[in-house]
Amino acid sequence: FEGDQLVAQSVIFFIAGLETSAVTIAFGMYELAKQPELQERVREEILDILKDGGLTYENVLKMKYLNKVINETLRLYPPAPILDRVASEDYK
C-alpha cells in the first residue's frame, strides 16, 4: 500500500473495530436492562473488585461474572455471524 491507500485501509479497520465494539456494548446493556438481577450482580462484582485498587488490568481479569455476561452477549448477538462448520457428509 502507498499513501492514500494506506490511510484508507487504516480508517476502514478503525471503523470496523469501532462498530463491532459498539454493537456488542449496546446489546450487553440491552440484556442487562432486561434482566435487573444480572445487572445487580455485575454491579456488585465491579464495586467489590474496584475496592481493591481501582480499575487496573489485573482487576478487570478478576471480573469473572462480567466476562460471562460479555461472552453470552457475543453468543446471542454476534457482531459478525459466521458459520465456519462444514458438513462431513450429505444429510438425507
**Residue ranges with strand state E in the chain:** none
Coil vs helix vs strand at 7: helix
Phi/psi for 41 (5° steps) reads: -65, -40
pTM given for the model: 0.71
Phi/psi for 77 (5° steps) reads: -130, 70
Which pLDDT tens digit goes with each residue over 27-71?
999 999 999 999 999 999 999 999 978 899 999 999 999 999 999
Retrieve residue 22's grid coordinates: 459498539
- Residue whose C-alpha cell is 480499575: 55
Please tell me the number of Cα atoms within 13 Å of 70 on its side-chain side: 10
Is the CB of residue 63 less than 8 Å from the CB of residue 45? yes
